[in-house]
Amino acid sequence: MAKTLKILGVIPARYDSTRLPGKVLRLIAGKPMIYWVYHNALKSGLLSQLLVATDSEKVLAYCRDQSIPALLTGPHPSGTDRLMEVMERVEADIYINIQGDEPTLRPEHIEAIVSPFLADPSVQVSTLKVAIEEAAAQNPNNVKVVTDDSGRALYFSRHAVPFDRDGSGVKRFKHIGIYAYKKAALELFHSLPESTLESAEKLEQLRFLQHGTAIHVVETPHDTVGVDTESDLRRVELLFSSYGT
């Protein structure tokens, strides 16, 4: 069944990051971060096509020099908006938003996020979660997700949800911000106004939930290190050094 679906991996790569300017071209183990994201995603045999979407001539020039397929887009406030432009230009059955600041991405993440679509044709949106310890759960930079017994998201929050009132050691999950969408879901998202929950938490995926669109969440044993700060960059550099990348 997988061979009948065109699965497009899109790596939104914004150069002018507020907290870490130029981060997609910052070096990790001697190569720009976008190199690692692209080549790690490329290891998945499920992708029909993989490309970088950027509004930066610098990023575009690097990709062309490295023979990495890339599209120059207009300026966009988010990766989802950039993905929408790609969708209007490149036809596919499933679009995967692969964050350009996830250099520790693994092909297993791609396989996991595609799996709900292969199991159930009615699935419109999927994403990932990973179990975390208490200290990580208390960090508001780690978005937490709570799901029902079938794996559909009930809520995403920067708070440590669910609240463990009795201290029973409830298991918590971090949301890994990689998404897969069908075209109709992306079109719906962009037709809807920003929701009140989305505005409060500053989490755009809550727009889907508040308007009644299910998000299927797949658990993975493999955490990722998203790079937003200099300390994140150093952490990834140490990780890569530790396993000889």
Whether 59 is in a domain gets the answer: yes
Are 141 and 96 in a shared domain? no
> Does the pLDDT at position 228 exceed 90?
no
Structure tokens belonging to residue 103:
């250099």
Determine the pLDDT at residue 81.
82
Q: What are the tokens at 26?
A: 């910052």
The kind and range of the H/E element at 156 are strand 153-157
CB-CB neighbours of 15 under 10 Å: 18
Q: Verify that 124 and 180 share a domain, yes or no.
A: yes
Bridging pattern class, strands 94-97 and 7-13: parallel
Instruction: Verify that 219 and 137 share a domain, yes or no.
Output: yes
Summarised one tens digit per residue, pLDDT across range 22-57 is 999 999 999 999 999 999 999 999 999 999 999 999
* R_g (Cα) of the chain, nearest Å: 17
Same domain, 61 and 133: no
The lowest-confidence range among 57-61, 130-134, 144-148, 237-241 is 237-241
Q: Which of 86, 26, 19, 29 is nearest to 52 (CA)?
A: 86
pLDDT value, residue 229: 87
3-state class of 173 per DSSP? strand
Domain extent for 148: 118-223
Q: Give helix 33-42 / helix 57-65 axis angle, nearest 10°.
A: 50
The residue among 57, 82, 105 that closes a domain is 105
149: burial class by Cβ within 10 Å (0-12, 13-18, 19+)?
A: exposed
Higher pLDDT, 141 or 4: 141
Supply the DSSP symbol for 149: T
The answer to the question of residue 176 being in a domain is: yes
**86, 175: one domain:** no
pLDDT digits (tens, 9 = 90+) for 9-20: 999 998 887 778
In this structure, the strands spanning 172-182 and 94-97 are antiparallel
- Count of domains observed in the chain: 2
Does 29 share its domain with 126?
no
Q: What digits encode the pLDDT tens for the residues 153-212?
A: 999 999 999 999 888 889 999 999 999 999 999 999 989 999 999 999 999 999 999 999
Q: Residues 109-120: pLDDT tens digits?
A: 999 999 999 999
Q: Write the pLDDT tens digit of every residue in 77-95.
A: 777 888 989 999 999 999 9
The pLDDT value given to residue 244: 59
| Same-domain check for residues 82 and 162 | no
Q: Hey, which residues does 89 pair with through a beta bridge?
A: none
Question: Same domain, yes or no, for 136 and 165?
Answer: yes
pLDDT of 1 above 50:
no
Q: Which tokens sit at 113? A: 């996020």
Output the pLDDT for position 78.
Answer: 78
Return the amino acid letter for 103. P
What pLDDT score was predicted for residue 2? 41
